[in-house]
Amino acid sequence: MFYSSDTMNSCRMILCTGDRSSGMNVLLSAVQTHRCAGTAASLSQSQTTANKHASGPDTGDKPRLRAIDLARKVQQEKTKPPAAEPPVSGQQRRVTELKQFSQQLQNVHPNVLAKHLHRSVLYRDKDVVIINKPYGVPVRDDSRVTSISSVLPVLSKLMDGMKIKSSSQLFPCLGLEKETTGALLLARSEEAAEHIINLNRNNQVQRKYWVITVGVPVPSEGVIDIPIIEKEVTGAQPHYKMALSPLFKMNNAGDGLTKVRAHRQAQPAMTRYRVLDSSSGCSLVELQPFTGAKHQMRVHMAFALACPILGDHKYSHWSKLAPQKLPERVLGKLGLEQTKIRYLPLHLHSRQLTLPGLSHADISVSCPMPKFFTQTLSKLHLSLPDTTDQK
């Protein structure tokens, strides 16, 4: 510890006078005073050093931001105007909205989906319920997304007015594919479900679908009776698809057909089709399946008639997995680019459902088309048939 010369001289003068006690007191007071002054000087020097570090040393190092500076910077970023997005066509916007809507339905809380289905009920009685199935929602349980089957208990309670002691149930009888929209039949008891399955097995349940095809089927009306079998597609991306398994082939002379042996794993598949309208290289076609083979209508349209369903990215190609390739004329009508086709939904709609009533007259329900379906019809200039013209 060092003391100033003035302090030491004062101490010596007091000690020389002989008043040692007073001199010691003065010396202690002076030491304490010097310590306080030294402490203050140290604090002042530390504060100066801290300020230098906060403001950045003279060496040119990047200064450290204070919390308030970071907060101001974040606030400025939030208030910045959003970057201008490139213009998109109306059809691209609709396809994007549809994709988002489907994802929302698949991931929402089951109660929300149940309320949506409750608002879409087309018909109900004590035996059956027919609802308008939305696009992109699977009927059967799917661990990845919310399915219709998983919300049937909630839907049943909603239909009974949320009664606590309600014991009613709903059972899916005739399923629809995840990408198919339209009339979905539900039974209100196990007995009713078994009865409907038997009716369908005996071709007493009539289901008519509307599809938009790429191409015009020739002839414009007929019945496709070609079995279907699952086959492996080899190549860079091995996968499985349903394919045709014909019972006849052209004879060697080329002037007739020869019956071949049926493959034991092939499934019978029969589909009646009728062209309702055609324009812009596309068609609105009514399909009526008489059997229930997997992907039956999609396979028959793509491989038997060479007119795949619009938005069918799986069966528009055989040897690869890729988005559907559309002609330039169709792309122009839809206002789409080929790079955006992967967002185009499958245009397959369960339009009409007719079945004998279990306890009263026959039931016949027509289901309205989803918005994206009607918008595509308008873009392609395809007209809906008159109700009196439907068979």
Cis peptide before 219 (omega within 30 of 0): yes
- Here the tokens at position 77 are 């970023």
| % of residues, the chain, pLDDT over 70 | 75
Candidates 166, 167, 113; CA nearest to 139 is 113
CA dihedral 220, 338, 145, 207 (to 10 degrees): -10
Give just the sign of the alpha carbon dihedral 237, 242, 244, 245.
positive
Distance CA 6, CA 313 (A): 98
pLDDT tens string 224-267: 999 999 999 988 888 999 999 998 888 877 778 888 888 899 99
Quick: pLDDT tens for 338-366: 988 888 999 999 999 999 987 778 999 99
Amino acid at 260: V
Tell me which H or E stretch contains 378.
helix 371-379
377/334 Cα distance (integer angstroms): 10
Q: For residue 64, count CB atoms less than 10 angstroms from its CB and return exposed for 0-12, middle for 13-18, buried for 19 or more.
A: exposed
Is 86 a residue whose pLDDT tops 90?
no
Q: Is pLDDT larger for residue 16 or for residue 380?
A: 380
pLDDT in tens, 23-66: 444 434 444 444 544 444 444 454 444 454 444 444 455 566 67
Question: Rounded to 10 degrees, what is the CA torsion of 49, 55, 58, 61?
Answer: 110
Angstrom distance (rounded) from CA 292 to CA 297: 9
| 211 and 350 Cβ atoms separated by less than 8 Å | no
**∠ at Cα 56 (54, 57), nearest 5°?**
125
Name the token pair of 329: 């004329």
Cβ-contact 148, 138 below 8 angstroms = yes
Q: In the predicted model, what is the mean pLDDT of residues 303-314? A: 97
**Averaging pLDDT over each range in 49-58, 84-93, 173-182, 300-309, which range is the top one?**
300-309
